[in-house]
Amino acid sequence: MINFALGLLAIFLVIILYIKFSAVQRLEQDYRKLLKEAEETIGSYVYELKEENEAFLSKLKERQTVVKELEGSTGEYSFDKKEPEITQDDINSLLSESIDAASMDNNKKAIAFEDLNTYEQVAILIEEGYTMEEIAKKLNKGKTEIELLWKIRQ
C-alpha cells in the first residue's frame, strides 16, 4: 500500500514538473518573440534614421554647391554683413509704440471688465490673485455671495 501511494505521489510530481516545464518553455518562446520584435523595431528605426541623415547630407551638399556658385558669380558672398546701427530715435519710437499699445490694452481691459457679469468678474479677480474679502470689497458684494459664486464655478 505504501509503495502504491509513493508511486502515485511520484507520478503526480512528474506531472506537475512536466506542466511547470512546459509553462517555462512557453514563456521562453514568448520572450524570444518579444526580443525579436524589439530588435526589428530598433533596426527599422536605425534604418530610417540613416536614410534621413543621408537625405540631410545630400541637401547640405546641394546648398553648399549653390553657395559656391553664388560666390563665384558675384565675386564675394558673405554672411557677415553688418546691420545698420540703431539710433536713439529708433529706440524712442519703439518705446512710444509699446507704451501706446500697453495703454490701449489696459483701456480695453477696464472697459471689458465693467461690462462683464459678476460671475465672470469674480473669476478674473481670483485668477489675478485677490482674496475673497478683497473681491467682495471691490465688487461691493458680500463675502458669502462671492464664495458661493466661486464654488459654483468650480
Kindly give the confidence (pLDDT) of every residue in the chain, 154 residues in length, as a single tens digit, with 9 standing for 90 and above.
Answer: 888 899 999 999 999 999 999 999 999 999 999 999 989 989 888 999 899 999 999 988 888 888 777 766 655 555 556 666 777 777 777 777 777 766 666 655 556 667 777 878 888 888 888 888 888 888 888 888 888 777 776 6
Residue type for position 35: L
Cβ–Cβ contacts within 10 Å for residue 136, how many?
A: 19
- DSSP helix/strand/coil, 83: coil
Report the C-alpha gap between 154 and 149 in whole angstroms: 9
